[in-house]
Structure 1
Amino acid sequence: MMTEAQQAITARDGRSEPARGAPCWVNLAARNLEAPEKFYGAVLGWQFRATSLGERFAIALSGGRPVAGIGAIATDLQVAVAWTPYFAVDQADEAAARISERSATVALGPMAFAVSGRAVLAADRDGAVFGVWDGRMPGGWETWRDEGPVVVRLRTRDAFESAIFYGGVLEWDKDGPEGVTVAYEYDEVVVRSHGGVVARLSSGAIGAAPDPDLRPHWSVQFRVKDVEACAETALALGGSVVSRGITREGTYADLRDPDGARFTVLGH
């Protein structure tokens, strides 16, 4: 059964509108589809189906519900194989302008897609890559917060400065208490939508670090039943374990797939 918040964002025609400024999707930029489908299918139990965007794109499903996208576009666009969160905005052009005005980088877009939406791929002032989406989401989006990432997390140089940047770009305060809200908790910036945590921003990354794990970056966390089993399966398939442990949110493992894309699995 959908929650009251989910019902409020479900459109009459079977398509859904995400809350402005909140994460609305995550996408893996990959070199091909075959390798990540095999890896994530085994590690996270996902199934895959084609999309209207063509043979180089696929939707990942968990229990038949959309959780993420994969695009075999990393080589063509000369971008790193990586997971990228996308945030909902009203106008892609205006969001791109706000990004540029704040001395960040618009790498691609706005680009039009077949599902009646437009996207921008950007990097913030510290180099963390993110996207914005202007448009309607396909039917089934209302289950994404349940089946998809638990939260997206920015590891950045200064969480307070980053909150000001993203708050301006994504207009976090535009809708007041009824929209996306921001709070400072346990030395983190915590972003909520409809009362649920959707993003966390934490300090401590080093912009010029030779180790990419220490540089500012967005990561995605997926809820799983058995963190250890996911980590062992990832290792068996050529992935790696960056770190593992226990936090306030539960048992976790930071993993990389065989092509280097980083993600986190978090225990129930």
Structure 2
Amino acid sequence: MTEATRHTPGTPCWVSLMVHGLDATQDFYGALFGWEFSPGPQQLGPYVRALIDGKEVAGIGRIPSSRQLPIAWTPYLATDDADVTAETIRSRGGTVGVGPLDAGAAGRLAIATDPGGAVFGIWQRAAHRGTAVYGTHGTPVWNELVTPETSFVGKFYEAVFGYEVEAVVSADFDYLTLHLAGRPVAALHGVGQALPRRGTHWMTHFEVEDTEEAARQVVELGGQVLQPPRDGSSGRLATVADPEGAVFTIVRTASR
């Protein structure tokens, strides 16, 4: 288990989920990942932070009745200035739907949509630094944008966050890895006509000790297995959904 000490601008630094049933969702992820919960900022409604060994991992909030928000895991990308980044997002063809606004003393945030329609957040930290621990069961390990094709939207993320883009050269595989200071931090995966019905979206991967066992638990807890356990370049993974339909990937990384 490793602790995070600093988030370079553009690095995925937090993942958050908005749902209708906050208590039931806490029960699901608490059982699946061993998370405990503490209160978080309430600017967008009731919100809790998930903890492992007292360290913050992710956030879950209740969808306000006045807002139409997707039930989906949303990655937040670090920024030193949420207002400047929000303006850059707009100037590059994206949309800022929420904020920028202060989350109490925790920091400043905005929720945006890229030109392809995928929702993501930006986070300017203050008291809350973002995800504080990685590399153990129940922690986010990777974020990947699922999109029809990568070239157009890749230029957007490169312009907004200054990523170095590395393409996987293949006749039948459209994949871009986003790097900061030579380190891969996220990826864009072009799937063409195989795009799911929910459209372009960011997919969060969570580390698990045993992919088969975690997939079995998902079903026992009222979720679904959408793609059964399989081997991938990053390890043994499966695509699953929680009881409200939020889709995520569980993976036992190759390093385990």
Q: Does 1:28 align with 2:5?
A: no
**What residue in structure 1 maps to residue 54 of structure 2?**
64
Q: Does 1:234 align with 2:234?
A: no
SS at match of 1:18: coil
What is the aligned counterpart of 1:188 among 175, 180, 201? 175
**What residue in structure 2 maps to residue 211 of structure 1?**
197
SS at match of 1:108: strand
Distance 2:183 2:91 in 1: 30
- Matching of residues 94-133 of structure 1 within 5 Å: 94-133=84-123
Give 1:163 deviation, angstroms. 1.7
Output the TM-score relative to the length of structure 1: 0.82
Give 1:58 deviation, angstroms. 0.8
Distance 1:100 1:29 in 2: 24
The answer for unaligned runs of 5 or more in structure 2 is none
What is the aligned counterpart of 2:205 among 221, 234, 253? 221
**What residue in structure 1 maps to residue 242 of structure 2?**
257
Distance 1:32 1:25 in 2: 21
**What residue in structure 2 maps to residue 176 of structure 1?**
none
Deviations 1:73-109 (CA, angstroms, capped at 9, x unpaired):
2544211211100001222222222222222221111
Q: Is the 8 A contact 1:88 1:132 kept in 2?
A: yes
Q: Is the 8 A contact 2:144 2:188 kept in 1?
A: yes
Give 1:192 deviation, angstroms. 3.3
Deviations 1:137-173 (CA, angstroms, capped at 9, x unpaired):
526x57434353111010112222222101112233x
Q: CA RMSD in A?
A: 2.5
Amino-acid identity (%): 35
Amino acid paired to 2:126: R
Distance 1:211 1:100 in 2: 26
Amino acid paired to 1:183: E
- Whose helix proportion is higher, 1 or 2? 1
What is the aligned counterpart of 2:83 among 84, 93, 106? 93
**What residue in structure 1 maps to residue 146 of structure 2?**
155
Distance 2:127 2:214 in 1: 29
Q: Is the 8 A contact 1:108 1:120 kept in 2?
A: yes
Distance 1:75 1:225 in 2: 37
Amino acid paired to 1:185: V
- Which segment is superposed worse, 84-93 or 192-201? 192-201
Distance 2:231 2:93 in 1: 36
Q: Is the 8 A contact 2:7 2:13 kept in 1?
A: yes
**What residue in structure 1 maps to residue 33 of structure 2?**
44
Distance 2:227 2:156 in 1: 28
Give 1:241 deviation, angstroms. 1.0
The answer for unaligned runs of 5 or more in structure 1 is 11-16, 173-180
Q: Is the 8 A contact 2:2 2:134 kept in 1?
A: no
Q: How many residues align?
A: 245
Distance 2:247 2:117 in 1: 16
**What residue in structure 2 maps to residue 13 of structure 1?**
none
Give 1:205 deviation, angstroms. 4.5
Q: Does 1:167 align with 2:158?
A: yes
Distance 2:58 2:119 in 1: 17
